[in-house]
Amino acid sequence: MATVIDGKAVAQTIRSEIADEVRLLSEKYGKVPGLAVIIVGSRKDSQSYVGMKRKACAELGIKSFDIDLPEQASESQVIKHVHDLNANPDVHGILVQLPLPKHINEEKVLSEISLGKDVDGFHPLNIGKLAMKGRDPLFLPCTPKACLELLSRSGVSIKGKKAVVVGRSNIVGLPASLLLLKADATVTIVHSHTSEPESIIREADIVIAAAGQAKMIKGSWIKPGAAVIDVGTNSVDDPTRKSGYRLVGDVDFEEASKVAGWITPVPGGVGPMTVTMLLKNTLEGAKRNIEQNN
């Protein structure tokens, strides 16, 4: 049976490390990291995710700046808030909760975030530096960073290994493949137009699944002893649950856990780590900023 990687436990360890560093910053410079979250509209999933971030900030001593805008807020209003936060020296990280309402151009808004405060790591310059050899972005995107952190803290070496990333989104698949490449893996990306994906996945020492397809990857697709990081969060009907549904990953956990060497569960794997990496990015941004100015 595979070793189940407990994302909650790893996240807790990292959070206590962050809290210690926040305390040191406060004692040494009298300043703490500040994270601003802009949310437009009242989508339930966005609201609950933002609630989680605020709670986590409070627990670690990070100052929260909350900008809640109505669904009908204009693009220029959102950009004005971004500019105000760029200019605020107490804010070290700015996060715009996606998706934005249809009438707002996401790319335009995100490119207005100051590079030094782009804690989501989605600014084209941060992604560009991630793609280039010998360059380091100021911030790494949170979910891919979480995936690699889970591998390294579980003792999985990446150098020289065959890694397959399933999915090529700007948020997970693409940056995860670039991060693996930076860590000296040999990387293949499997996507919706890939023929015979299972034969490619079967060769992988490391699989990062981020396709958004419930249980797409079967146990028979996994190489014995491989490390499997499942980013997928898909709801499937389950009449036995009060909610009427349950969450499953892109990997068939029951089957794959009998073959893999390491595997993350859904929920409880990558999810708790993603918010933690956001907080770590905010701390890193604050340290850079505060130490430069003192």
Using CB atoms within 10 Å of the CB of residue 237, give its burial: 0 to 12 exposed, 13 to 18 middle, 19+ buried: exposed
Catalytic residue, candidates 53, 182, 223, 280: 53
Cα–Cα distance for residue pair 241/30, rounded to 1 Å: 48
- 120 catalytic? Reply is yes
Active-site residue, from 31, 97, 118, 230:
97
Q: Is 53 a catalytic residue?
A: yes
- Catalytic status, residue 72: no
User: Which string of DSSP letters, residue by residue, matches the chain?
Assistant: -PEEP-HHHHHHHHHHHHHHHHHHHHHHHS---EEEEEEES--HHHHHHHHHHHHHHHHHTPEEEEEEE-TT--HHHHHHHHHHHHH-TT--EEEEPSSPPTTS-HHHHHHTS-GGG-TT--SHHHHHHHHSTT---SS--HHHHHHHHHHHHTT---TT-EEEEE---TTTHHHHHHHHHHTT-EEEEE-TT-SSHHHHHTT-SEEEE-S--TT-B-GGGSPTT-EEEE---EEEE-TTSTTSEEEE-SB-HHHHTTT-SEE--TTTSSHHHHHHHHHHHHHHHHHHHHHHT-
120, 205, 230, 252: which one is catalytic? 120
Burial (Cβ within 10 Å: 0-12, 13-18, ≥19) of residue 196: exposed
Q: 163 with 180: CB under 8 angstroms?
A: yes
Catalytic residues: 53, 97, 120
